[in-house]
Amino acid sequence: MLNYAASRIVQTIIVLLVISFIAFLLVANIGDPLAALLSADATVNERLELIAKLGLDQPLWTRFLHFIGNMLQGDFGFSYRTQDPVANLIAERLPATVELAFVSLLITIVVGVPAGIYCGVNPNSLFGRFIMLISTAGITLPNFVVGILLIAVFSVQLGLLPSFGRGTVVDLGFWKTGLLTVSGWRAIFLPAATLSTFQVAFIIRMLRTQLMEVGQSEHIRFARARGLSEARIWYVYAIKNTLLPVITMLGLQLGNIIAFSVVTENVFAWPGLGSLFLQSIQGADIPVIAIYLIFVGLVFMVINLIVELLYPLIDARVLRRQS
Amino acid sequence: MINATAPLLDVRDLTVTINRDGRLVTALDKVSFFVNPGEVLGIVGESGAGKSITGAAIIDLLVPPLKRTGGTITLAGTRLDQLSPKAMRSVRGGRIGFVFQDPMTSLNPVITIGQQLCDTIQAHLKLGGSQTRKRALDWLDRVGLPNPDVQFKRFPHQLSGGMRQRVVIALALCADPVLVIADEPTTALDVSVQAHILELLRDLHRESNVSMMLITHDLGVIAKMADRVAVLYAGRVAEISPVGELFNTPKHPYTRGLIRATPMPSATGEMRLDQIPGAMPGLGAVPPGCAFNPRCFRAQGDCRATIPPLYHEKSSAFSCFHPLERVTA
C-alpha cells in the first residue's frame, strides 16, 4: 500500500512538472512582457534594467527553475491585462467555482447514484425505462440549452430563483462563500443543476450497465445459491464491484467542472474561474492563461490521486496489478 | 446404501423449457430421481445432457430464458416447487448447499472470504457476531485451509484455485444443509488438486452424513464418490443404478457407451477406448422415439416410434426397450 501510494504521488509530481514546463514555455515565448510592463517612452537603460530584473537574459532552464521556485513561494507573476498578481485573480474567483462544482457533484450523487442503482436492479421496470428515457435527454442536451431552459422556467415563468450572480456572499477572510445564506443557495441551484444534468444522466447509464453486467456474473449467482437476501446481494455484493469506474468518472467530472464550466458560468453570469479564463483568452493575458493551465493540471492530478488512493480500499486486486 | 426410509429429495417429472423466439424447446424432459438420506447420487452425462440444469432447477436458480414448467420437487416432505421466493431463499444455502464449478469466478472478488462466509452463515443461522466468526473460522479449518484467521481477512485473488474451491465448499456447507448439490466441483481444477478436493468432499460427507448430488461428466469421479448414479441423455434419464451395477452390468446401451469411452485399464492392463458414433442431439433437435436411437446399435422400429418409459427393477431403472443382457459389458 505504501509503495502504491508513493508511486502514485511521484507520478503526480512528474506530470505536474511537465505541465508547468509547457505553461512556462507559453509565458517565455508568446507575447512581449517588456512592451506590457514598460511605458512607451522608456530608455534603453530602463529596458536593460528590467530585462536583468526579470531574468530574461538567463538561459531557459534557469528561468524555468526560477519560475518553479517563485510558484512554490506563492509568486505566480502578474497579469498583462490588469497588472494584478495572478494569484489574487485566481483566489478571488476560485471559491465561486469550487462551490458550484461541489454542489453539482452533490446533486449528481444524491440523484444519479440512487436512480442508476434503481435502473440497474430493475432494468425492465416501467419507472426504470422512464428514467432511461429522461437520461437520454440529459446526455444529448448541451449545457447552455439546459441552462437557458431552466432560466426560462424557474426565473422567467415561475420567478422562483435568480437567473444570475451568487446572491449574498459571506466573507470568511480567506474564502467568500455563498453557501451560508439563503440567497446564495437560491442562486447556486440553477447553475449547479445545469452542470449536473449531464453527469446525472451519465452516472445513471454507467451504473445501470455495470450493475446489469455484474448481476449476470457467476459470483452473484453463487451468492443467490447461498440464500443471501436480494438487498444484500445488490447493495453490497454487486455495488462494490461497480464502484471503481463510478468513482473514477465522478472524480474526472468534478475536475471537469472546476476547470471547464465556462459555458454555464457565462449563461448564469457566475463570477468563477471559467469567466476569468475566457476574459484572459480574449485579452491574450498569457501569464494568467499559463497559471490557469497549471492550476487545472493540479486540480485534475490531485483529484486523480485521491481517486487512485481510494482504489485499493475498494478492490484490493489493484495492489496486485501494481507489483 | 439403499434403505427403506423415505427419500430425502424426490424429483418427479421435472421439466424445464427454454423459450427460443417464441418456440418452446424442452431442455429437461420429465426427469425423475430421488436421493436417500446420507447418499451420494452421481449425475452423469455428456455436455448439454441437462445435468447442470437439473441442479439449478432444484433450487430455482435457472438462468432465463430457461424455465421450470412442470414436475414436483420434494425435500424432506416440503414441496420446493411451490415455495414462495422468500421461503425458497432460506432453502438455498440453508437446506441445500450448492458447490459451483469454477472457483475463479464464483467468489466475489472485492469481499473478503471471512465476510462472505459470515454473511452466508448469518443468512440462515441466528448467531451473534462472535459466534458467526468462530463458525466461519471453524469451517475454514474444516476444509483444510492453513491459518484460518489469516485466510479470513484475505480476498479470493490471494488464494490458489484449489484453496478457492475449498472456500466454495465451506460456503456451501457452512449453514448445515441436508443436501449438497456439487456441480462439476473439480472440473476447473488441476488433476492433482482434483484428487484433494474429492477427498475433502468425501471426508465432509462421511463426517456430517449430508446427502449429495454430484454432477459430473467424469465417470472416474463417479466411481470414486457415488452410491448410485443417474445417467442423463438429451434431457432425459437413461438409467439409474447403484454404482457397482452400473459399471458391471449397464442396461442402457448409452451407459455402456459412456463407460467404454472412458479411458480405463482393462483386466489385462491395456487401455481400451471406444467412442460412441455420432453426437448428442442439440436442444430442440431430439429425434422422435428414444433420443439415443440414431447412435444405438440395438435400435429397432419401436425405438424410433415411441419414447421408452422408465422401467423399474429392484434397485435400478432404465429407459430402454432393448436393454443389455446381464453379461459383463
> 3-class secondary structure for chain B?
CCCCCCCCEEEEEEEEEEEECCEEEEEEEEEEEEECCCCEEEEECCCCCCHHHHHHHHCCCCCCCEEEEEEEEEECCEEHHHCCHHHHHHHECCCEEEECCCHHHHCCCCCCHHHHHHHHHHHHCCCCHHHHHHHHHHHHHHCCCCCHHHHHCCCHHHCCHHHHHHHHHHHHHCCCCCEEEEECCCCCCCHHHHHHHHHHHHHHHHHHCCEEEEEECCHHHHHHHCCEEEEEECCEEEEEEEHHHHHHCCCCHHHHHHHHCCCEECCCCCEECCCCCCCCCCCCCCCCCCCCHHHCCCCCHHHHHCCCCCEECCCCEECCCCCCCCCCC
Of A67-76, A107-116, B74-83, highest mean pLDDT: A107-116
Q: From B56, which residue of chain A is nearest by alpha-carbon distance? A: A225
Instruction: Select from B105, B119, B172 the Cβ nearest to the Cβ of A219.
Output: B105
Taking 80 as the threshold, does the pLDDT of residue A115 lie above it?
A: yes
Answer whether A310's CB lies under 8 Å from A302's CB.
no
Distance from CA of A316 to the nearest CA of B (A): 7
Q: Do B123 and A226 touch (CB under 8 A)?
A: yes
User: In angstroms, rounded to a whole number, what is the distance separating the alpha carbons of residues A294 and A306?
Assistant: 18
B41 touches chain A (CB under 8 A): no
The whole-number average pLDDT for the span B138-156 is: 90
Enter the C-alpha cell of residue A107.
446533486
Chain B window 268-287: which residues touch A at a Cβ cutoff of 8 Å? none
The whole-number average pLDDT for the span A80-103 is: 86
Q: Which residues are within 8 A (CB) of A231 and not within 5 positions of it... i.e. 6 or more apart?
A: none
Mean residue pLDDT across chain B: 86
The whole-number average pLDDT for the span A96-116 is: 91
B37-53+82-231 topology per CATH: Rossmann fold (3.40.50)
Q: How high is the pLDDT of residue B5?
A: 67
Taking 70 as the threshold, does the pLDDT of residue A57 lie above it?
A: yes
Taking 80 as the threshold, does the pLDDT of residue B265 lie above it?
A: no
Taking 90 as the threshold, does the pLDDT of residue A58 lie above it?
A: no
The whole-number average pLDDT for the span B246-257 is: 86
Please write the tens of the pLDDT for every residue from B219-228.
888 888 899 9
Tell me the chain B residues in contact with residue A218 when contact means C-beta distances shorter than 8 Å. Answer: 100, 102, 105-106
B91 touches chain A (CB under 8 A): yes
Instruction: Select from B100, B171, B172 the Cβ nearest to the Cβ of A218.
Output: B100
What are the residue boundaries of the structural domains of chain B, listed by start?
37-53+82-231
Q: Do A241 and B168 touch (CB under 8 A)?
A: no
Strand order in the sheet with B66-75: B23-35, B9-20, B66-75, B78-79
Q: Which residues are within 8 A (CB) of B324 and not within 5 positions of it... i.e. 6 or more apart?
A: B249, B250, B251, B252, B253, B256, B298
Nearest to B92 by CA among B164, B177, B150: B177
Tell me the chain B residues in contact with residue A231 when contact means C-beta distances shorter than 8 Å. Answer: none
Enter the C-alpha cell of residue B99.
458447490
Confidence of residue B178 (pLDDT cuts 50, 70, 90): very high
Instruction: Select from A226, A229, A241 the Cβ nearest to the Cβ of B171.
Output: A226
Answer whether A274's CB lies under 8 Å from A260's CB.
yes
B107 touches chain A (CB under 8 A): yes
Please write the tens of the pLDDT for every residue from A118-175.
999 988 899 999 999 999 988 898 888 999 999 999 988 888 888 888 888 888 877 8
B119 touches chain A (CB under 8 A): yes
Distance from CA of B84 to the nearest CA of A (A): 13
B157 touches chain A (CB under 8 A): yes
Taking 80 as the threshold, does the pLDDT of residue A31 lie above it?
A: no
Taking 80 as the threshold, does the pLDDT of residue B279 lie above it?
A: yes
Q: How high is the pLDDT of residue A132?
A: 92
Of A196-205, B262-271, B294-303, B317-326, highest mean pLDDT: A196-205
Q: How high is the pLDDT of residue A322?
A: 52
Mean residue pLDDT across chain A: 86
Q: How high is the pLDDT of residue A83?
A: 79
Q: How high is the pLDDT of residue B2?
A: 45
The whole-number average pLDDT for the span A248-277 is: 86
- Please provide residue A223's backbone torsions phi and psi, each rounded to the nearest 5 degrees: -60, -40
The whole-model pTM stands at 0.81
Instruction: Select from B93, B98, B108 the Cβ nearest to the Cβ of A219.
Output: B108
Answer whether B90's CB lies under 8 Å from B178's CB.
no
| Interface with A, mutate which of B96, B106, B158, B184 (most A CBs under 10 A) | B106
Answer whether B88's CB lies under 8 Å from B54's CB.
no
Q: How high is the pLDDT of residue B266?
A: 67
Give the residue, A321 or B100, on which the prediction is more confident. Answer: B100
Q: How high is the pLDDT of residue B126?
A: 86
User: In angstroms, rounded to a whole number, what is the distance separating the alpha carbons of residues B294 and B287?
Assistant: 8
Q: Do A218 and B61 touch (CB under 8 A)?
A: no
Tell me the chain B residues in contact with residue A241 when contact means C-beta distances shorter than 8 Å. Answer: 108-110
Q: Do A219 and B106 touch (CB under 8 A)?
A: yes
Domains of chain A, start order? 86-322 (1.10.3720.10)
Q: How many Cα atoms sit within 13 Å of A297 on the Cβ side?
A: 19
